[in-house]
Amino acid sequence: MEVAPSHYGLSSRVQLEEIGENHLGLRKVIKSRIIRKDAAKIVETVRQIRGVAPGVKITLICTRNICSKSLALLHENGVEVRYCEE
């Protein structure tokens, strides 16, 4: 189920979906590789969401094109990564 990003003060381009109770998915399916700079932007988005809803768990939904440094940064900030095949 899709969640309105405007509720969290985010751009309408951000794709959020409800995975479970207090669990949101941040969908980022792009053709290019997710690099550390992209991961830093994702972490900022997660911080903004957690500023509105402190207890929410965030999962990044992306393709397998993600670098190891990005995975480490996301892990440090408590963001789970789930892969999709699109």
DSSP string, 40-85: HHHHHHHHHHHHHSTT-EEEEEE-S-B-HHHHHHHHHTT-EEEE--
pLDDT at residue 86 greater than cutoff 70: no
Please tell me whether the overall predicted TM-score, pTM, comes out greater than 0.85 for this model: yes
Q: Please, is 85 exposed, middle or buried when counting C-beta atoms within 10 Å of its C-beta (0-12, 13-18, 19+)? A: exposed
Angle at CA of residue 60, ends 77 and 6, nearest 5°:
95
* Tens digit of each residue's pLDDT (9 = 90 or more) over 11-53: 999 999 999 999 999 999 888 999 999 999 999 999 999 999 9
Specify the number of domains making up the chain: 1
* Tens digit of each residue's pLDDT (9 = 90 or more) over 50-75: 999 999 999 999 999 999 999 999 99
CATH number where 53 lies: 3.40.1350.10
